[in-house]
Amino acid sequence: MICGVFGHPNGFWQRGFRLGDLGINAVFVSSGDIDQQTIDRTRAEGGQIFAEFATLNGDYGDYVANHPEAHPIDESGQPAARATWFMGACPTDPGFRAFRMDELRTFLSEHEVDGVWMDYLHWHAQFEDPYPMLCKTCFNESCLDSFQFSTDIEVRGDTTAEKAEWILLQAAQAWEDWRVSVVVDWAREFHAIVKEIRPAALVGNYQAAWQDEDFWGARRRCLGLDFDALAPYVDVFSPMPYHGRSGMPLEYVRDYAEYFSTRHDVYTEPDKYPRLWPIVQAFDAPRVEPAELATVLEYGLAGKSSGVIAFTIDSVIADLGKIEAVKNVYCGRS
């Protein structure tokens, strides 16, 4: 059973805690914040260390800001607006893909982590809000060329806006399927690199906690996420049912874990994959009371879930009640 926290544990350690004091046996840390000292101390305290890797997040390294050709283009032919707190990158831009995969290779060659989690593996959008930002992208030249080559469909129109309108009216299903294939191909290459350099490391994925029919099928239609198609390349699915941030009741976490366990093939046996480890909200946006945190941690272990992650460790250590909540749930499970 994975009893995890997201974030660097340094602040936790500075307060005199050891991971085992709260029953924590896994930490999930942004790849840029991982060093050998962190790896060594985590393992010395009986924990596993997993890296969060900014996959299609164009803000990471200011890539999109410095490479406007990687900025997604919307159906009006204009650069897409930023999401709430990040800017996605065009997944077919060859320069961006080469840059990100080279970063992954470099990171893995330097750090012996237990796994790497793809973060923002979806087309540009924002799903962690009560009213998500769902835009239709991308219609730049690399996307239009790739779509036509992959589907053998000739797109009509003179301007980008005209081509986008033609696709959405005349080839919407082919466009949706192609967009799914692009995301899956990112996961395929990502998985291949991880297994080549760190064969024992797990490949995880953070993703929208939406059912197939939510928002009129927006998870597949807008985000390009098809979990059945991704399953061969993902060892652990980590949906993000942030109840408070999404304006949902606590039961949302339990219901989604049970739904995912029923809808998709996930396993609890130690030698079978993929597995289900949801990541739940501990941060105060809005306020999450300690009792709420304890409840969503338990709900994250519903269904066939074999782990749960509290987001974030800083939110936990700033609140004595949350520290106690994590300790009670995690130590009770160990």
Share above pLDDT 90 across residues of the chain, in percent, rounded to a whole number? 94
| pLDDT for 287 beyond 70 | yes
Is 273 domain-assigned? yes
Other residues' Cβ atoms within 10 Å of the Cβ of residue 152: 7
Q: How confident is the model at residue 333 (pLDDT cuts 50, 70, 90)?
A: confident
Q: What is the chain's mean pLDDT, rounded? A: 96
CB 306 within 8 A of CB 275: yes
Is 143 domain-assigned? no
The answer to whether the pTM exceeds 0.75 is yes
Summarize the confidence of residues 162-177 as an average pLDDT: 98
Q: What is the largest CA-CA distance in the chain?
A: 64
Summarize the confidence of residues 311-325 as an average pLDDT: 97
Q: How confident is the model at residue 85 (pLDDT cuts 50, 70, 90)?
A: confident
CA 202 to chain CA centroid, nearest Å? 14
Is 153 domain-assigned? no
Question: Which DSSP string do the residues of 186-221 spell out, in sequence order?
Answer: HHHHHHHHHHHH-TT-EEEEEE----TTGGGTHHHH
| pLDDT for 245 beyond 80 | yes
Is 239 domain-assigned? yes
pLDDT at 60: 87
Summarize the confidence of residues 75-88 as an average pLDDT: 93
CA dihedral 22, 24, 30, 33 (to 10 degrees): 70
Specify the number of domains making up the chain: 1
DSSP state of 80: P
| Angle CA 231–48–14, to nearest 5 | 135
Summarize the confidence of residues 67-83 as an average pLDDT: 96
E-assigned strand segments in the chain: 2-6, 26-30, 48-54, 115-119, 125-126, 133-134, 202-207, 236-239, 275-276, 279-281, 307-311
| pLDDT for 93 beyond 80 | yes
Summarize the confidence of residues 31-43 as an average pLDDT: 98
Is 318 domain-assigned? yes
**C-alpha–C-alpha distance, residues 167 and 153, integer Å:** 10
pLDDT at 132: 87
Residues in Cβ contact with 110 at an 8 Å cutoff, skipping those fewer than 6 apart = none
Summarize the confidence of residues 3-14 as an average pLDDT: 96
pLDDT at 270: 84
Question: Which DSSP string do the residues of 152-185 spell out, in sequence order?
Answer: ------SSHHHHHHHHHHHSHHHHHHHHHHHHHH
CATH number of the structural domain spanning residue 102:
3.20.20.80
Q: How confident is the model at residue 141 (pLDDT cuts 50, 70, 90)?
A: very high
Question: Which DSSP string do the residues of 239-259 spell out, in sequence order?
Answer: E---TTTTT--THHHHHHHHH
Is 44 domain-assigned? yes
| pLDDT for 116 beyond 80 | yes
Q: How confident is the model at residue 129 (pLDDT cuts 50, 70, 90)?
A: confident
pLDDT at 130: 85
pLDDT at 334: 65
Compute φ and ψ for 60, nearest 5 degrees. -65, 120
Q: Which domain holds residue 295?
A: 2-75+84-133+182-333
The candidate with the shortest Cα–Cα distance to 32, out of 125, 122, 119, 93, is 119
The candidate with the shortest Cα–Cα distance to 326, out of 1, 5, 2, is 5
Summarize the confidence of residues 300-308 as an average pLDDT: 98
Is 241 domain-assigned? yes
**C-alpha–C-alpha distance, residues 206 and 72, integer Å:** 21
| pLDDT for 32 beyond 90 | yes
Summarize the confidence of residues 178-191 as an average pLDDT: 98
Helices 94-110 and 172-197: angle between axes, nearest 10 degrees? 30
| pLDDT for 53 beyond 90 | yes
**C-alpha–C-alpha distance, residues 183 and 208, integer Å:** 14
pLDDT at 84: 84
DSSP state of 81: P
Is 171 domain-assigned? no
Summarize the confidence of residues 214-242 as an average pLDDT: 97
